[in-house]
Amino acid sequence: MTWDWQVFLNDDGSGRTYLQWMMDAWSWTLAVAGCSWVVAVSLGGIMGTLRTLPNSPWLVRLANVWVELFRNIPLLVQIFLWYFVVPKVIPAFQQVPGFVLVVFALGFFTSARIAEQVRAGVQALPKGQRYAGMALGFTTAQTYRYVILPMAFRIILPPLTSESMNLLKNSSVAFAVSIAELTMFAMQAQEETSRGIEVYLAVTILYAISAFAVNRVFGFIETKVRIPGFIVAGGTGGGH
């Protein structure tokens, strides 16, 4: 077997090299993952909080339905539903770019998992935290805003790190609806160049670099917001 890394310097037929094509695909992967992460954390935080509200049974049920619905349907099926079914059922979505539909699918899927983590983080706090907020005269919303959620999100940073890395890797399924991300590049470039080993190794390295960067960013955040004596110091960004 011989290596031919110069394949990335060859023209892909459109005036760009395969290296340029791969970098473009990498940017699409990061864009899909980044936008989906914003959707997932926003909705996951809301739904996870709703699941812990006292004296609000209907809101709790609504959040539970959300979690069970999006958590129990495979991601690939959800992407197909958003891409092929939703525009047929809701005509307004026919003008929505495929990129946005994939972001919704990946973001909603991940939000259900983050909501479960938020719920667990809130319920892990001593009840005295809630009572302290009540003693200060805070409303329920203020208690969550100033007392409960800041502590809960510190607790769930390690699993949130893993979930964010998983979201980045799950973005690879976007190739199924022709989003020009890394996995689609690898499949097409391998067919055109017959250099599958080099192509897939390069793509693997880019995925690993991206996931490691996410890990390090969250590790830095975890170190900065850690409360001494309250959260165990791991120092590995999700490794404890």
The tens digit of pLDDT for each residue in 179-201 reads 888 999 999 998 888 888 999 99
Helix (H, G, I), strand (E, B) or coil at 16: coil
In degrees rounded to 5, what are phi and psi of residue 11?
-75, 135
Specify the pLDDT at position 83: 92
Q: What region does 55 belong to: left with phi over 0, alpha with psi -120 to 50, or beta?
A: left
Q: Tell which wins on pLDDT, 108 or 56.
A: 108
pLDDT per position as a tens digit, 195-218: 889 999 999 999 999 999 999 999
Locus of tokens 């190794």 = 201
Let me know: does 8 contact 22? Beta carbons within 8 Å. yes
Give the separation between CA 222 and CA 126, rounded to whole angstroms.
Answer: 21
Helix (H, G, I), strand (E, B) or coil at 11: strand
pLDDT band at residue 230, thresholds of 50, 70 and 90? low
Query: Is pLDDT at 7 greater than 50 in this prediction?
Result: yes
Specify the pLDDT at position 3: 81
Specify the pLDDT at position 229: 63
Show the DSSP H helices in the chain as ranges.
Answer: 18-50, 57-71, 75-80, 86-89, 98-124, 127-135, 140-143, 149-155, 157-170, 182-193, 196-225
pLDDT per position as a tens digit, 93-104: 989 998 999 999
